Amino acid sequence: MAKRRVLDRLPVVHQLRQSVGLQRGMLVAGLVLTAIFLLCALLAPWIAPYSYSQLSGPDGNFGAQQPPSSAHLLGTTVGGYDVLSRVIWGAQTALYVVIVAIVLSVFIGILLGLVSGYLGGWVDRVLVVIADAIYAFPTLLLAIVVAIAISRGQSDLRSGIIAAAASITVVFIPQYFRVVRAEVIRVKSEAFVESAKVIGASTPRIMFRHVLRNSTRTLPLIVTLNASEAIATLAALGFLGFGIEPTAAAEWGYDLNKALSDVAAGIWWTSIPPGIAIVLTILGITLIGESLNDLADPRLRARRRAKAQTPADAVAARQPTAQEFMGEVQ
């Protein structure tokens, strides 16, 4: 029993136990795809055949656009890089950008939403106008402008990751701001907040100890959905030429951009692997986010449980218990 309680407290495990049928299949598929992405990112130095910028091996140069072979399972790119190695190392770059972007956007968005929702007044009006203006701006165009302003033509690993993460962060902040602000406005009128004010608790203590902890319950769902959007935005930036140079890091969008001319020549192995990596990674994270979003809705959970019941379970559920029967007799 103790081990079962510990397992139920782990992230996603409780939701996995709640899910049934197709919902469980979607959640499991998302977990498997996301686990593959994480393993490739974390174990890239050990499982990748070559480095992301390696152009030669013991037998000499790799050669450009070489078809799949025993030496290069997915062939080589137009620049002479090993495709499989670039795909595996690209997972690590995507993970770096997603972590930095999510951490920054969650921290800044929660802080601004908490201050705006609790204090109100002119602070709330100004922050709402700024957030709405950013939210109304085209997402990809805003990311491109921020990336250009930060990178300034530099595309090494550090500046490239910071530029991509910062551009994604600016796009995500209004989302967290809106969610947290709405929850704070609802929570600050609760009885326990009024009780904290009566006993003389300071404003920062009420904001961070009582209001904040009750206003962030839906954020894990938004984080999972935004993680997939961050990977798509990173790939779009790289595809449009605002990514990271191949000698600094591997990036799926950049590799797709360089493989455009290969598609017309019938060279499929330079474009399909990074494209599949983008699609499967986004699909896995999206499946997790959508599944958790559905499981967080009590109405959907109750509906699925009702569908999962067998006829025998339904009959047993309608049978009165012994206590109910005795009550009716009396």
Of 309, 312, 307, 311, which is closest to residue 22 (Cα–Cα)?
Answer: 307
> pLDDT of 87-100, one tens digit each?
999 999 999 989 98
What pLDDT is recorded for position 324?
45
Q: How far apart are the first and last CA of the chain?
A: 39
48: left (phi over 0), alpha (psi -120 to 50) or beta: beta
CA distance 213 to 318: 40
What single-letter amino acid sits at 247?
T
Report the chain's C-alpha Rg in angstroms. 25
- φ and ψ of 158, to 5 deg: -65, -50
Which regions in the chain score pLDDT beneath 70? 1-21, 151-156, 243, 246, 294-330
Q: Are 19 and 295 in contact (CB under 8 A)?
A: yes
Place of tokens 């929570």: 187
pLDDT at residue 301 in the model: 53
Under a CB-based contact definition with an 8 Å cutoff, are residues 94 and 252 in contact? yes
pTM to 2 decimals?
Answer: 0.79
Quote the pLDDT of residue 314.
41
Domains, the chain, in order of start with CATH, read: 46-275 (1.10.3720.10)
pLDDT given for residue 77 in this prediction:
87
The pLDDT value recorded for residue 139 is 76
Per-residue DSSP letters for 115-170? HHHHH-HHHHHHHHHHHHHHHHS-HHHHHHHHHHHHHTT--SHHHHHHHHHHHHHH
CA distance 194 to 201: 10
Tokens representing residue 164 in the block:
């991509």
